[in-house]
Structures are given as structure tokens and as C-alpha cells.
């Protein structure tokens, strides 16, 4: 799949090394979202699973720069460049390197646009991307994510599956080096989940995804390289998808048995 750069743009790295060095995040109310830890992610396909409140979203926020660590440091490395997410100077480049996907959330401006193709086009135009390049990027993405036939639709007219797909396409429109996706198929049925997963994992980008869908993780066609299991704000397992899912199911059983014992 081809990627496009404006003439003035600095080429981004093909992939990113995410590194946490004693990094964690405690919220203002004192809740520990993610306990300080050392963690390095270099793989192309990484999944993060865990129960609600286990720290998945906090970890993703640390990785993509939307949350600053309250302890330690988070760096992104690629193409001989190292970025520190605690540095205001570096955050703009972090945003260029890492596309953020939050479920089916799309920018509010998309709902005000005449249609979804113009919504994405306007967002790229604000970043001074040339006409031909904008058209090529949008055509490429809309074809891949199954949006080409509804390109003239308004954002408010889309069903949930199409909004999920548009959210991913919108994040990819700026040609990031990696995508950090928080439950990109949340709320969809089995068919919708499969459509979103297939589109996401067959696009040639590094992907870090948080999900509750254990079936997605172990599908060989999605080629997940590594899976982290989180519990109580900490990584409690780090390994292959199949082993991680087995550990996770055992964790759920143990928590259920413990809750019954205390009733």
C-alpha cells in the first residue's frame, strides 16, 4: 500500500520503539491508573487486554502522549530520533508519529461537514497538504476501509460500524508511523468487529490495540506478535496471544472465585 508525503514534510519512521522507564500515571484524585514500570514495545502488532479499570486506557495514553507520566519517562524512538512525551517541544512530533483511535470517536468538526470525504479533506487542508496528495490519501483510505460507496454521506448518518472505520481512517489520514487504538470495535457485533479488525490489521501500519475481544487476538490472520495482560494498573503477563488469553481467562476465574468467597 502506498503512502504519501507532502514535499515539505519530514519522512516519519517506518515504525516506532515505545519505551517506558519507570513510567506511570497517577490521576489528580490519587487513583493510580498505571503503576511505574519499565516496558519497551517494538513489535508491529501488540494487543493489550484486561478487565475494566485494569489500566489499559492509561497505558495507551502514556504511549501516545495524550497522558504525561507522573513518574519516570516515556520516549518514542525512530529514524535516529528520540522524543520525550513530557517535552512540549516534542509533543507535536509525537502527534505526527502516532495516530490515536478512541473507539468510534471522530472529530466534532466531521459532524458539521457536508459529507465525510469533505470532513477528512478539510482536516488535511488545515495541515497544508497539497490537493493531489489529499485526494490520493483519502481515496486510498476510503477504499481500504469500505467507505468509498458512502463518501457523500454525512457523519451523523453513519451506523456504528462505519463510524468505527471512519475513526481509524481519520487517524491514518495524516500518515502516522503507528496507530494506538483503544477498543476500536467496542459495541459492535461479531460481523462488525471482524470488518473493523480486518481493515485495521491488514493496513500496513504498526498497531497497538487495547481490546476485550480475546477471539480477535488469537486469530492468525491478524498476526498479533505480542499480548500484554493488565490488572490493577500493572502488566501481569507479557507473551504470545494464546498464552496471554489463557492467563487472562484464569485471572478472571480466580477473581470470580475470590469474590464468591468474600460474599
Domains contained in the chain, CATH given: 17-262 (3.40.50.300)
Residue 7 predicted with pLDDT over 70: no
**Where would I find the H helices in 46-107?**
56-64, 88-97
Query: How high is the pLDDT of residue 263?
Result: 66
Residue 111 predicted with pLDDT over 90: yes
pTM confidence score: 0.92
Q: Which three cell numbers stand for residue 31?
A: 487513583
**How do residues 31-79 score in pLDDT, each as one tens digit?**
999 999 999 999 999 999 999 999 999 999 999 999 999 999 999 999 9
The rounded distance, in Å, linking the Cα atoms of 260 and 263 is: 5
pLDDT averaged over the chain? 93
Residue 2 predicted with pLDDT over 60: no
Query: How high is the pLDDT of residue 5?
Result: 38
φ and ψ at 22, to 5 degrees? 55, 30
Average pLDDT over residues 169-185: 96
The beta strand positions in the chain, using DSSP E, are 17-26, 32-41, 45-50, 71-78, 81-84, 98-102, 178-182, 206-210, 226-231, 234-239
Query: How high is the pLDDT of residue 10?
Result: 54
Instruction: Report residue 251's pLDDT band, with 50, 70 and 90 as the boundaries.
Output: very high
The half-sphere exposure of 179 on its side-chain side, counting CA atoms within 13 A, is 29
Amino acid at each position: 500500500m502506498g503512502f504519501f508525503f507532502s514535499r515539505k514534510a519530514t519522512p516519519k519512521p517506518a515504525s516506532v520503539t515505545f519505551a517506558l522507564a519507570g513510567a506511570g500515571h497517577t490521576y489528580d484524585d490519587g487513583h493510580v491508573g498505571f503503576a511505574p514500570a519499565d516496558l519497551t514495545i517494538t513489535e508491529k502488532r501488540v494487543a493489550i487486554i484486561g478487565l475494566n479499570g485494569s489500566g489499559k486506557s492509561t497505558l495507551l495514553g502514556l504511549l501516545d502522549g495524550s497522558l504525561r507520566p507522573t513518574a519516570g519517562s516515556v520516549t518514542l524512538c525512530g529514524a535516529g530520533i528520540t522524543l520525550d512525551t513530557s517535552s512540549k517541544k516534542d509533543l507535536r512530533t509525537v502527534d505526527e508519529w502516532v495516530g490515536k483511535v478512541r473507539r468510534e470517536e471522530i472529530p466534532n468538526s466531521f459532524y458539521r461537514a457536508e459529507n465525510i470525504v469533505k470532513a477528512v479533506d478539510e482536516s488535511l487542508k488545515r495541515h497544508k497538504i497539497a490537493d493531489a496528495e489529499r485526494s490520493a490519501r483519502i481515496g486510498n483510505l476510503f477504499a481500504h476501509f469500505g467507505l468509498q460507496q458512502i463518501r457523500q454521506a454525512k457523519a451523523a448518518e453513519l451506523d456504528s460500524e462505519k463510524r468505527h472505520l471512519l475513526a481509524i481512517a481519520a487517524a491514518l489520514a495524516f500518515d502516522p508511523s503507528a496507530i494506538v487504538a483503544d477498543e476500536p470495535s467496542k459495541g459492535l457485533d461479531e460481523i462488525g468487529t471482524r470488518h473493523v479488525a480486518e481493515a485495521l490489521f491488514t493496513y500496513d501500519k504498526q498497531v497497538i490495540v487495547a481490546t476485550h475481544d480475546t477471539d480477535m487476538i488469537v486469530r492468525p490472520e491478524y498476526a498479533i506478535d505480542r499480548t500484554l495482560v493488565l490488572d490493577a494498573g500493572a502488566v501481569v503477563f507479557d507473551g504470545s496471544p494464546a498464552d496471554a488469553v489463557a492467563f487472562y481467562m484464569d485471572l478472571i476465574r480466580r477473581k470470580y472465585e475470590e469474590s464468591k468467597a468474600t460474599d
